[in-house]
């Protein structure tokens, strides 16, 4: 076999052109390959994100025992506070002016009140025995019975027609024994503050859900 003695200029030029074209083709192929990979990764990421979004299930609250904010501020005419009901009753028995008072138990303490009103200026203080204004909030928010839950709002009224009802005209949101209590108190006093006090004392005793906060 015979080999050429030398490579001509034209052959070198041709080889250089072929090499450049081959290199450029390789670069283009590499760029296209990278672009294809990025597109695939982007689509995969989007599909994964959409899949996660579709898997999210909204959670609905099933808690029906949400406490309603139904607290109302009142003012009591307070004559004393005692550690036992017996001591409180003994104290009231020593004063004729406290014949319409009531003992209200709050967190283990027994308060002697003679009236309760939503208006501070309506309190008439006494000297014998001495008294002072005791502000408090009455709340029925923890009660499930609508009649007891709305009790603080109903007691807030200073309208006599909201306390004393004719037979057959009792509103639906008033407890059944309301009339018997107000009827008994009216024979001793026509003061709405006294009626309100005894209604609070009565329903506080029967319903633990009613709360007094100072």
Residue-level pLDDT at 167: 74
Q: What whole-number distance in Å separates Cα of residue 114 and Cα of residue 103?
A: 9
Give the residue from 23, 187, 121, 124 showing the smallest Cα distance to 113. 124
Please report whether residue 59 resides in a domain.
no
Q: What whole-number distance in Å separates Cα of residue 84 and Cα of residue 3?
A: 128
Q: Do residues 119 and 19 both lie within one domain?
A: no
Residue-level pLDDT at 52: 47
Q: Do residues 18 and 79 both lie within one domain?
A: no
Q: Do residues 17 and 95 both lie within one domain?
A: no
Please report whether residue 119 resides in a domain.
yes
CA 40 to chain centre: 50
Give the CATH number for residue 197: 3.30.70.1070
Please report whether residue 52 resides in a domain.
no
Sequential DSSP letters for 24-36: HHHHHHHHHHHHH
Q: Judge residue 85's burial from the number of C-beta atoms within 10 Å of its C-beta, 0-12 exposed, 13-18 middle, 19 or more buried.
A: exposed
Please report whether residue 49 resides in a domain.
no
Residue ranges making up the domain that contains 164: 72-213
Mean pLDDT by 10 residues, the chain (214 residues): 52 56 55 57 52 47 52 97 98 97 97 98 96 98 95 96 86 92 93 97 96 97
Q: Do residues 187 and 139 both lie within one domain?
A: yes
Q: What whole-number distance in Å separates Cα of residue 186 and Cα of residue 195?
A: 8
Please report whether residue 60 resides in a domain.
no
pTM above 0.75, yes or no: no
Q: Do residues 80 and 180 both lie within one domain?
A: yes
């Amino acid at each position: 076999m015979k080999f050429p003695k030398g490579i001509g200029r034209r052959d070198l030029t041709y080889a250089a052109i072929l090499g450049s074209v081959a290199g450029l083709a390789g670069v283009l192929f590499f760029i296209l390959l990278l672009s294809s990979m990025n597109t695939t990764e982007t689509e995969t990421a989007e599909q994964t994100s959409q899949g996660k979004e579709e898997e999210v299930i909204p959670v609905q609250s099933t808690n029906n025992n949400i406490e309603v904010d139904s607290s109302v501020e009142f003012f009591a005419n307070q004559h004393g506070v005692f550690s036992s009901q017996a001591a409180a009753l003994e104290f009231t028995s020593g004063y004729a002016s406290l014949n319409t008072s009531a003992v209200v138990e709050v967190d283990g303490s027994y308060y002697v009140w003679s009236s309760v009103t939503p208006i501070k200026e309506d309190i008439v203080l006494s000297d014998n025995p001495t008294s002072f204004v005791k502000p408090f909030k009455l709340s029925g928010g923890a009660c499930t019975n609508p009649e007891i839950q709305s009790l603080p709002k109903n007691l807030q009224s200073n309208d006599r027609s909201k306390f004393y009802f004719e037979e057959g005209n009792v509103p639906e949101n008033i407890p059944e024994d309301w009339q018997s209590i107000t009827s008994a108190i009216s024979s001793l006093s026509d003061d709405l503050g006294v009626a309100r006090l005894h209604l609070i004392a009565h329903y506080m005793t029967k319903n633990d859900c009613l709360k007094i906060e100072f």
